[in-house]
Amino acid sequence: MNTTINETTWDTQKTKRLAKINVAADKGLKKLVPNDRVVELLETVIAREDKVCIEGNNQKQADFLSECLSQCNPDVLNNLHILQSVLALPSHIDIFEKGIASKVDFSFAGPQALRLAKLVQKQQIHIGSIHTYLELYGRYFIDLTPNVCLITAHSADADGNLYTGSNTEDTPAIVEATAFKSGIVIAQVNELVDDVPRVDIPADWVDFVIVAPRPNYIEPLFTRDPAQITDVQILMAMMVIKGIYAPYQIKRLNHGIGFNTAAIELLLPTYAEELNLKGKICTNWALNPHPTMIPAIESGFVESIHSFGSEVGMDDYIEKRPDIFFTGSDGSMRSNRAFSQTAGLYACDLFIGSTLQIDLQGNSSTATVDRIAGFGGAPNMGSDPHGRRHSSYGYLKAGQEATDGRVIKGRKLVVQLVETFRENMNPVFVEELDAWQLQEKMGSDFPPIMIYGDDVTHIVTEEGIANLLLCRTPEEREQAIRGVAGYTAIGMERDHEKVKELRARGIIQRPEDFGIDISKANRDLLAAKSVKDLVRWSNGTYAPPSRFRNW
């Protein structure tokens, strides 16, 4: 063996970190940094080519720190590698346009998807990869560990203990990866207090605290106005409840974002109650606190909800419902995106969401050619977890349906809930996903598919439900998809004989096959028809943002 003494230095990261902090201290930048000196702080403690994680999800944003980073001098700070859940704010893109950062690894870029695509075209940005949230957090501990993270919390005490309030979200994952690998943790807070209501992040994990000049930005992303729910959405929601939730006895689940699933939520206290399903379905959730869940909660449908993040206006309601939500001793919620995504992956029996395009293999995508939107949490929630080992009624039943042989595993239900045409009469069902064109444009290894066809178990449209588990060949799958694709070109080209056979075998089911009375599919079935109704259901504790108040 090699017995020469190893002369390598093994604490370069730690030494670099301390040197940065000492230089900052020499400039008078100690734990509490005044907000007019943040650009100086960042130029001091970030080095060229550092990996910098900017906290920003689809909800709360470390917006002040991000703006400060975008104001740094690109001669001092450049070639940064940005790690970020969501590219949401203009400043996130500015950082690249100004030449401060050159590479990004992220999950989702909804609001900035167009500008991001342009940056790629102008070669001002190199996209490492686009991830699902949990996957990105995983890489923080393997090969994308931040040198510096810019995070946000509600308040801090003088020591630097942080209180996130209900929007804990990504903070614990980001801080843990950074603080324990000789990184630097910088937090913006809304206010400094004598004592934080509870400690969400301990002070000794935090290096610098800044009171931002204004509260951090939070987007009310999960608020859907019941007034906008259509009769078609109500019909589809009835089919989901009677045709999927009831027969598979789905108790643990996650809903995607949008009006389709909001309609289901608002039908629980009415239609599902009529079907005598209370306590039998939809009891335990991995879900943000959707306001449209209030009637189901008040009606006793729900046992528990663990949340990725919070929702604007829901804080008071949540605090008054600690039997349902995860809350701290201070009363406010503790969300946690990493744990909720883990629960969504492994502890839920069903994910249901919407999409923009579905191909004949059942692959779905929300990519359009001129926008690089990314994924968020859907690929994780909408995948069959091969690592799962516990059973449940629905998981077993789905597993049985998927095989003619001996059952060795169950199947998570992954449901796509779409109208056959979306806005501007664009068909959802297509021969080829736009994702393939985007792949070519981006030069990536794979097309940006949101959910793989192999993982999809059911497609629900206004025409009916296609159960892909029961299909035995790719040809049957294709005809099952065509059989619910309505008047799209894909739907028109169905093999009518085969579709008839699939319906006889229960692979395709129409509303009448479930005994659904289509005439009942209208807004009278909604437990709440407006945001005002939701407020009433909450006994006035839900405080919707002003843009949702029209009374």
User: Which residues within the stretch 307-326 sit at the binding site for a second copy (CB under 8 A)?
Assistant: 320-324, 326
* 386 touches a second copy by CB under 8 A: yes
Choice from 306, 371, 411, 494 touching a second copy (CB under 8 A) = 306
* 522 touches a second copy by CB under 8 A: no
50 vs 485: CA distance, rounded Å: 49
Conformational region of residue 112, where left means phi above 0, alpha means psi within -120 to 50, and beta covers everything else: alpha
Tokens of 225: 């106005």
35 vs 444: CA distance, rounded Å: 40
β partners of residue 357: 365
Conformational region of residue 110, where left means phi above 0, alpha means psi within -120 to 50, and beta covers everything else: alpha
* 171 touches a second copy by CB under 8 A: no
Which 3 state secondary structure label does DSSP give 18? helix
* 299 touches a second copy by CB under 8 A: yes
Closer to a second copy by Cβ: residue 142 or 425: 142
Distance in Å, CB of 447 to a second copy, minimum: 6
337-346 helix and 133-140 helix, angle to the nearest 10 degrees: 120
Closer to a second copy by Cβ: residue 39 or 203: 203
* 394 touches a second copy by CB under 8 A: no
Q: Which stretch binds a second copy (CB under 8 A): 47-55, 175-183, 231-239, 503-511?
A: 175-183
* 1 touches a second copy by CB under 8 A: yes
Q: Tell me the pairing of strands 284-286 and 357-358.
A: unpaired
β partners of residue 191: 155
* 383 touches a second copy by CB under 8 A: yes
State which of positions 262-281 bind a second copy (CB under 8 A). 269
State which of positions 474-493 bind a second copy (CB under 8 A). none
Choice from 51, 371, 388, 482 touching a second copy (CB under 8 A) = 388
Closest to 358 (Cα-Cα) out of 401, 408, 416, 402: 416
State which of positions 81-110 bind a second copy (CB under 8 A). 105
State which of positions 420-479 bind a second copy (CB under 8 A). 444-449, 452, 454-455
Distance in Å, CB of 484 to a second copy, minimum: 22
Choice from 264, 267, 286, 484 touching a second copy (CB under 8 A) = 286
- The 115-134 site mask, x for binding a second copy (CB under 8 A), equals -------------xxxxx-x
* Spatial contact of 150 and 54, defined as CB atoms under 8 Å apart: yes
- The 179-218 site mask, x for binding a second copy (CB under 8 A), equals xxxx---------------xxx-xxxx-------------
* 336 touches a second copy by CB under 8 A: yes
CB atoms within 10 A of CB 79: 14
Closer to a second copy by Cβ: residue 306 or 371: 306
* 224 touches a second copy by CB under 8 A: no
Choice from 343, 356, 413, 459 touching a second copy (CB under 8 A) = 343
**Residue 268 CB-density burial (10 A; 0-12 exposed, 13-18 middle, 19+ buried):** buried
* 165 touches a second copy by CB under 8 A: no
Distance in Å, CB of 146 to a second copy, minimum: 12
Choice from 255, 334, 337, 482 touching a second copy (CB under 8 A) = 334
Q: Which stretch binds a second copy (CB under 8 A): 34-42, 117-125, 341-349, 489-497?
A: 341-349
Q: Tell me the pairing of strands 148-156 and 162-163.
A: antiparallel
* 8 touches a second copy by CB under 8 A: yes
Closest to 70 (Cα-Cα) out of 30, 112, 28: 112
The residue type of 194 is D
Closer to a second copy by Cβ: residue 363 or 509: 363
The count of residues interacting with a second copy (CB under 8 A) is: 114
Distance in Å, CB of 500 to a second copy, minimum: 29
* Spatial contact of 267 and 282, defined as CB atoms under 8 Å apart: no
Choice from 160, 289, 313, 328 touching a second copy (CB under 8 A) = 328
Q: Which stretch binds a second copy (CB under 8 A): 28-36, 233-241, 494-502, 536-544?
A: 536-544
Kindly write down the DSSP assignment for every residue of 276-326, as one continuous string.
T-TTTSS-EEE----GGGHHHHHTT--SEEE-SS--TT-HHHHHT-TTTB-
Closer to a second copy by Cβ: residue 476 or 513: 476
200 vs 202: CA distance, rounded Å: 7
* Spatial contact of 380 and 347, defined as CB atoms under 8 Å apart: no
Choice from 111, 353, 382, 464 touching a second copy (CB under 8 A) = 382
Closest to 499 (Cα-Cα) out of 508, 487, 490: 508
Q: What are phi and psi of 402, to 5 degrees?
A: -80, -5
* 403 touches a second copy by CB under 8 A: no
* 261 touches a second copy by CB under 8 A: no
Tokens of 510: 């129409």
Distance in Å, CB of 75 to a second copy, minimum: 29
State which of positions 25-64 bind a second copy (CB under 8 A). none
Q: Residue 324 CA to chain centroid, in angstroms? A: 21
Is the Cα torsion angle 303, 307, 312, 315 positive or negative in sign?
Answer: positive
- The 136-155 site mask, x for binding a second copy (CB under 8 A), equals -xxx-xxx-x----------
Distance in Å, CB of 134 to a second copy, minimum: 6
* 19 touches a second copy by CB under 8 A: no
Q: Tell me the pairing of strands 426-427 and 421-422.
A: antiparallel
Choice from 77, 238, 264, 527 touching a second copy (CB under 8 A) = 527
Q: What are phi and psi of 453, to 5 degrees?
A: -55, -35
* 169 touches a second copy by CB under 8 A: no
End-to-end CA separation in angstroms for the chain: 80
